[in-house]
Every structure is written in structure tokens, then in C-alpha cells.
């Protein structure tokens, strides 16, 4: 019942970014068929071989997260008969989505020209590490590399002179997946108006540059590149502090002069608001180090919950610095219904993080968990004109593994 209800998507994705984009489209109502190699399928199915688990768990959480709402077909596209199966599915599809490298799609006979020949209206959506042109267009990548390290994000964080921090799993992949889902929707809207299909492309590197666009733009315009400053920042009201109980919080009062006097009253230090050294954002910037050190001592006198009550009473802009476990239990996330529970083949109910866009008239939903490898192969082929004899013949040929 989502906004893309009736749209048919064929996905050939691995790991996270491509499958995540298809999962968003599926949340939005599209019928997504995931094509996998019968010899093991999407590598995310084997967490042990990826070094992510000591033994294969009962519930493969990454697999479930990135592949909910899909139907699974196992076909060996390196065989001519397997390629023909995929092309037949694509004849009736609206979208082909893949994050396999361009060379792999070309070798499989599934480049844009091949697919367009059987379905000129297709939206051919691909995702790469570094884009379709330039010296690194064929370079392999994960989001840790192209999105995080190379975009400038990794070198912009952390303390001055310290070790740059790495990202957490799929931070880039999930944002890129949502971006690609939006691009597919725009291309479908264009096709609705004109009848014209097209190829669209997004790279992890370009998405990382877009994430860093505020800093990149300054570098382009002025030649000055940001380097980490740590907590010594010109505006102490746009900074993070540690409370008495060791828990951190982040103040984000960008319009510092608007809040300064009231802030000083609220924290029990009205004299700070009258101190000429701190009169105005420019002067506070000149004395940022001493002021931040003073605020550190003040904030160390109360617990975070005590400060939270003061901040909220004064309508300050702030947030607690939460652990992942705290975020997973955040009452605001629960109030938003951001975790949807679906039955799992293990017999337990599995909570899954929803995609973030809300549609009032056509709500998105997670209807089921990830398919087993090839779970819906026969079902999907029967829908596309194959008979049982045809399926038996393909099985004998080894097309299904």
C-alpha cells in the first residue's frame, strides 16, 4: 500500500548499499525480486567468512536489515540460460538496481544497453565506489573507503593530532541507499510524464563529498581546508560537555547571542552574562579556551539528567550523547514506531529498523523478513511465463545451482 505499490524492481545487489536502496523501495511498496548467485548468494549471508561472527548466528541481522520485504531468486547469470531468466524478469520490470561493478554487469550481458534492448522504459539504477568516469571508475570500494576516508570526513573528526576515527558499519551505505531510492523515484516520475526510461548512477564517493559539502564548498571558494580543532571552538554554546555522572551532552545553540544571557542565568552563573570578556560571539571566541574550561567545571557539578531538566525548561537546543544501546531504546524512537516487528523463520519476532520517510496517505511498511537463498525462485518464474517443465529443464542445466 506504499507510494510505489505496483512498481516492480529487480535487484542484483551485494553487501549493503545496493540492497539497502532496494529495501527502501520495498518499504515504499515496490515488489522487489533479489537475484543471487546460487553458490552462496549475497556475501552478507556468510558472516563467519566475513570475519563478523565466530559462528553463523540463528538470526543474521545484517541480512535481515538490508533485505526485508524482498523475494529471493537464485540464478547463475554466467550461464546463457540464467541470463535469459533475468532478462525475462526485466522485460516486465520498472527498475533494475545493482551495486555490482560495471565490468561484472557487462560480462553477464546485463549492461544498460542489454537491458534497454528488452525494456526501453526501464530505470537502470547502479551504484559504484567512485563513479562512471575518471581514473578510479573501476576501483573497488566500500563506504569505509570511498564515502568515509576519501571524502574528507575521516580526517575532519577527532582530536587535533590524534588518530582519525573510523565509521561504524554501513553509515555511508544506508544514507546512499536512501539517496538512490529517492533518485529512482524521481526517474519513475519523469517516466510517468514522458514515457522515457533512463540510466541513473550514484557513487559512494560523490555521496561522501555531498555529506561534506559545507566544508568542501569553503575549500573550493577560499582554498582553506578544515582541520580538527577538538573542543576548543569559537562558540562554546556549540560544544559537548561531560556531566557529574560522566555522561556527555551536546549543546547546539548556533545563535549564541540569542541564548547567552538566559543560558548564564539557567546554569546559575549570571555574572558570566555580564562579563565584558564574553560580551558577544566575537569576544567569546577570543576567550573560548578559558570559557570552555570554566563551563567544564560548572557542568561537572550536576548529573546529565539534572542538566536536562534545566535545558528543557529553558528551551535550549541540546541532545544527550547516547550509546547505541541507549539510542535503540530512546523513547522518542519508540513513540515514532521506528522499529517494526516481523516474524522470523527462527520462531522469534524480529524488530527491524524502518526507513525514515513517513507517507501520510500511503504509509511505508515492513511486511516480512529477508528471503532464504532462492526461496521464491519457482514462484517468480511461474509469474513470468515459465512452466514447471521449463523450470525442471533449467534445474537440470544447473541454472539454479
C-alpha cell at 193: 510524464
Query: If you classify domain 238-324 with CATH, what class do you get?
Result: alpha beta
Query: If you classify domain 8-212+336-396 with CATH, what class do you get?
Result: alpha beta
Q: What is the residue extent of each domain of the chain?
A: 8-212+336-396, 238-324
Task: Using alpha carbons, list the distances in angstroms from residue 146 to 22, 101, 131.
Answer: 21, 14, 10
Give the model's pLDDT for residue 173.
98
Do the beta carbons of residue 381 and residue 19 sit within 8 Å? Answer: no
DSSP code of 29? T
Residues with catalytic function: 173
What pTM does this model have?
Answer: 0.95
Q: Of the candidates 157, 132, 169, 261, which has an alpha carbon nearest to the alpha carbon of residue 211? A: 157
**Separation of alpha carbons 303 and 63, rounded Å:** 39
String of DSSP letters for 56-112: --SS-HHHHHHHTTEEEEE--TTSHHHHHHHHHHHHT-SEEEE-S-HHHHHHTT-SH
Written as tens digits, the pLDDT of the chain (401 aa) is 899 999 999 999 999 999 999 999 999 999 999 999 999 999 999 998 888 888 889 999 999 999 999 999 999 999 999 999 999 999 999 999 999 999 999 999 999 999 999 999 999 999 999 999 999 999 999 999 999 999 999 999 988 999 999 999 999 999 999 999 999 999 999 999 999 999 999 999 999 999 999 999 999 999 999 999 899 999 999 999 999 999 999 999 999 999 999 999 999 999 999 999 999 999 999 999 999 999 999 999 999 999 999 999 999 999 999 999 999 999 999 999 999 999 998 889 999 999 999 999 999 999 999 999 999 999 999 999 999 999 999 999 999 98
Query: What burial letters (b/e) apply to 319-335, b meaning 16+ CB within 10 Å?
Result: ebeeeeeeeeeeeeeee
Give the model's pLDDT for residue 60.
95
**Separation of alpha carbons 380 and 395, rounded Å:** 15
Give the model's pLDDT for residue 223.
97
Sheet holding 248-252, edge to edge: 238-242, 248-252, 318-320
DSSP code of 238? E
Amino acid at each position: 500500500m506504499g507510494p510505489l505499490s505496483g512498481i516492480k524492481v529487480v535487484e542484483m545487489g551485494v553487501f549493503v548499499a545496493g540492497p539497502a536502496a532496494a529495501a527502501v523501495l520495498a518499504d515504499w511498496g515496490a515488489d522487489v525480486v533479489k537475484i543471487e548467485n546460487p553458490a552462496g548468494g549475497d556475501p552478507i549471508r556468510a558472516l563467519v567468512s566475513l570475519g563478523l561472527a565466530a559462528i553463523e548466528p540463528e538470526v543474521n541481522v545484517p541480512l535481515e536489515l538490508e533485505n526485508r520485504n524482498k523475494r529471493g531468486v537464485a540464478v547463475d547469470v554466467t550461464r546463457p540460460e540464467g541470463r535469459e531468466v533475468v532478462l525475462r524478469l526485466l522485460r516486465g520490470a520498472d527498475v533494475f538496481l545493482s551495486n555490482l561493478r560495471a565490468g561484472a554487469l557487462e560480462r553477464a550481458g546485463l549492461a544498460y544497453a542489454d537491458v534497454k534492448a528488452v525494456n526501453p522504459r526501464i530505470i537502470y539504477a547502479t551504484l559504484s565506489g567512485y563513479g562512471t568516469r575518471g581514473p578510479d571508475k573501476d576501483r573497488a570500494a566500500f563506504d569505509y573507503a570511498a564515502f568515509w576516508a576519501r571524502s574528507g570526513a575521516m580526517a575532519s573528526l577527532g582530536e587535533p593530532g590524534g588518530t582519525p576515527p573510523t565509521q561504524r558499519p554501513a553509515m555511508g551505505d544506508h544514507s546512499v541507499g536512501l539517496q538512490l531510492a529517492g533518485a529512482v523515484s524521481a526517474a519513475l516520475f519523469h517516466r510517468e510524464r514522458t514515457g522515457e526510461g533512463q540510466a541513473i548512477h550514484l557513487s559512494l564517493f560523490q555521496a561522501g563529498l555531498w555529506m561534506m559539502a559545507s566544508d568542501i564548498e569553503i575549500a573550493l571558494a577560499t582554498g582553506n581546508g578544515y582541520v580538527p580543532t577538538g573542543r576548543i571552538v569559537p562558540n562554546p554554546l556549540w560544544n559537548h560537555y561531560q556531566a557529574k555522572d560522566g555522561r556527555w551532552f551536546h549543546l547546539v545553540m548556533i545563535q549564541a547571542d540569542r541564548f547567552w544571557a538566559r543560558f548564564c542565568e539557567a546554569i546559575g552563573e549570571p555574572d558570566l552574562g555580564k562579563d565584558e570578556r564574553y560580551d558577544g560571539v566575537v569576544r567569546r571566541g577570543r576567550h573560548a579556551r578559558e570559557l570552555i574550561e570554566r563551563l567544564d567545571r560548572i557542568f561537572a557539578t550536576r548529573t546529565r539528567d539534572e542538566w536536562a531538566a534545566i535545558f528543557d525548561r529553558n528551551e535550549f537546543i541540546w541532545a544527550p550523547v547516547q550509546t547505541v544501546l541507549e539510542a535503540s531504546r530512546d523513547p522518542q524512537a519508540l513513540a515514532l514506531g521506528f522499529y517494526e516487528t516481523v516474524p522470523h523463520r527462527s520462531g522469534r519476532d524480529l524488530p527491524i529498523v524502518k526507513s525514515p520517510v513517513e507517507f501520510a496517505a500511503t504509509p511505508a511498511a515492513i511486511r516480512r523478513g529477508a528471503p532464504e537463498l532462492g526461496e521464491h525462485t519457482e514462484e517468480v518464474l511461474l509469474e513470468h511465463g515459465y512452466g514447471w517443465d521449463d523450470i525442471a529443464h533449467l534445474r537440470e542445466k544447473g541454472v539454479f545451482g
